[in-house]
Amino acid sequence: MRIPFWSRLRLAPRIAIVIVLTLVATTATDKIMGMVIGMPDVLFFEKTWLVDTVAETVQRAEQTDGDEWVVVRETLPAAQWLDFVETVEPSITNQWEQDAFGIFREDLARRLGVPVDDVLVRTVDTEGPERALTPIVIILESIPMLITNLIDDNIDKMVVEHMRIAVRLSSGGWLTISPKSDGLEAARFVRNLLVPIAAILLICGLSIWVARSIARPLTDLSAAAERLGRDREPTLLGNYGSPELEAIADSFNEMQHELKRFVDDRLQMVAAISHDLRTPLTRLRLFAEYLPDQEQRRMVLADIGDMEAIVSSTMTFASHQLNKERTGTVDLASLLISICDTASDAGGTVTYDGPDHAPVSCQPVAIRRAFTNLIDNGCKYATSVRVTLSVTAELVRVTVSDDGPGIPAEQVEAALRPFVRLEASRNRDTGGSGLGLTIADEVVRAHSGMLTFAPVAPHGLEVTVTLPRLS
C-alpha cells in the first residue's frame, strides 16, 4: 500500500523522518519496558539510624542461637527495610571506592567496639533508577537535608546500589545486612538487556528499509543496463515513489528507447546495403566468367567470392540482431554431431567426444550458427579440431580445441568485435568478414552463457562455451 504523502517526499526528508521515527520508537520502547517492569525501591537511611540499627542487630545475633535467630530476625523493626543473613564467609571483599564509606565503617566499628577490618562494606555507583537492578540506597548525614547538597557532594555522597554490610561475629561467622529485595532483579536485568537489543533492531530494521528503497532502483537500473547491452531489448523501470528516482527511471527508459531505435536503424541500413549488394555482385560474377585471361578471371572471381561471404555474414549478423528467435528444447549433442559431420564432409578433420543426447533450452537456429562458426573457424586455421561436450544437472560445457596458431590473450577482446580480423588471418586462404566470433559471442551471451578462450600447448586454441542446460 502506497502512502500519497510519502510518495511525494524527496529522499532527504524521508531519511530525516526515518531518523526521527527511530529515535521516537527507541524512546517509546524504553518507556514501555520501564512501565512493564518498574524501577526498584529507593531507600533513604539516616547515617546514625543505620549505624545504630546494624549495631543493635549484631548484638541481637550474638545473644541468640541459630534456630532462634531465624525467628527473631523477622521480628526486628528494621526487617521491613533490610535483610539479615548469617554466613560462614563474607560474600564481599574489603574494598570500597568512596571516602564516605570509610568513615561509615569506622563509625560502625567504633559503635560495635570491633576492629575496622571486622566491618566490610560493598557498594556500586548507581546509574539511576531506570537502570538499577536492586534497591537504591541513599544515606543521609541528617534530616532535613537539601537534595541539591546531596547531588553536588562528590566526597561524602552515598547514593549507591548493591549495598552490602558484613560484620564479623564472635563465633567467627559473618552477619550480612542488605536492602530487602523485591525479587525482580532478574526481570530488570532482562529489561536492561532487551532495551538496547530492541533499539538496535529498530534502527537496523528502519535503516535496511530505507537502504532497500534506495538500492532497489539502482539494482533494477544495473540489471536493465546489462540486459540492454546483452539482448538489445529495453527493460522499463517501474514506479519507485520518489521524485528523484522517478526522474532517473524516466530518463533511463527514454534512453533505452532511443538506443534501441538508433541500433535498429543502423542494422536495418546495414542489412539493406548488404541485400542490395547481392545483385551487382551476381552481375559482376557473370561478367567475370567471360574474361579471356584465366588468371585474371580467377582473381576477380576470388574477390567476388570474398565480397559475397562478407555480405552473407553481414546479413546473418543483422538478421540475428533484428529478429529474435523463439526458444525451444534442442538436443545439443545431436546438433554438435551434425555440425562435426558436415565439417568433416567439407574436408576438415573434426572429432566429437561426449554423450549422445543433451537437451538444452535455446534458440535452435542461433545456437547452430554459433557452434558452426566456432568449428568452421577452427577448421580454417588448424589441421584438426576436437569438440568435447560435458553435461551437469545445471550446465552444459562445449569445448572446441584446435592445433592452429591460436589467439594471443591481448587480442581476444579485439577478435570479438564486429568486422575485426586479426593480422594473422588477413590472407587469401583464411580471410573472412570478422563476424564469426562476434556472432558466436552474441548468441552465447543472449543465452546467459559465457564464451572463453585459452591457449593450448604447444600451440593452438581452446574455446569453451558454458550454457545453462534448461531455463
444 and 368 belong to one structural domain: yes
Question: What pLDDT score was predicted for residue 466?
Answer: 92
136-140 and 159-168 beta bridge pairing: antiparallel
* Host domain of residue 315: 232-323
80 and 167 belong to one structural domain: yes
**Residue 380 sits in a domain of what CATH number?**
3.30.565.10
414 and 350 belong to one structural domain: yes
Q: Report the alpha-carbon distance of residue 469 to residue 443 in Å, rounded.
A: 15
135 and 169 belong to one structural domain: yes
Which residue's C-alpha cell is 538506443? Answer: 259
Task: Give the CB-side neighbour count of residue 85, counting CA atoms within 13 A.
Answer: 13
**Residue 266 sits in a domain of what CATH number?**
1.10.287.130
Q: Report the alpha-carbon distance of residue 281 to residue 287 in Å, rounded.
A: 10
119-125 and 82-87 beta bridge pairing: unpaired
330 and 452 belong to one structural domain: yes
**226 located within any domain:** no
Q: Report the alpha-carbon distance of residue 387 to residue 410 in Å, rounded.
A: 25
**412 located within any domain:** yes
pLDDT tens string for the chain (471 positions)? 455 556 666 777 778 888 888 888 888 877 787 777 777 878 888 888 888 888 888 888 888 876 777 788 888 888 888 888 888 777 665 554 445 677 788 888 888 888 888 888 887 777 666 777 788 888 877 777 666 666 555 555 577 778 888 888 888 888 888 888 877 878 878 887 888 888 888 888 888 887 777 777 778 888 888 777 666 677 777 777 677 777 778 888 888 888 877 777 776 776 777 777 777 888 888 888 878 888 888 888 877 877 777 777 666 666 655 456 788 888 999 999 999 999 898 888 899 999 988 888 888 888 888 899 899 888 888 889 999 999 988 889 999 999 888 888 788 777 777 666 664 443 444 555 567 788 888 888 888 888 988 888 778 889 999 998 765
Question: What pLDDT score was predicted for residue 151?
Answer: 57
354 and 429 belong to one structural domain: yes
Question: What pLDDT score was predicted for residue 1?
Answer: 45
**172 located within any domain:** yes
**201 located within any domain:** yes
335 and 446 belong to one structural domain: yes
Torsion on CA atoms 323, 326, 330, 333, rounded to nearest 10: 30
Domains identified in the chain, total number: 4
Q: Which of 323, 356, 389 is the last residue of a domain?
A: 323
**224 located within any domain:** no
**397 located within any domain:** yes
11 and 117 belong to one structural domain: no
pTM of the model: 0.47
289 and 334 belong to one structural domain: no
305 and 352 belong to one structural domain: no
174-179 and 159-168 beta bridge pairing: antiparallel
212 and 245 belong to one structural domain: no
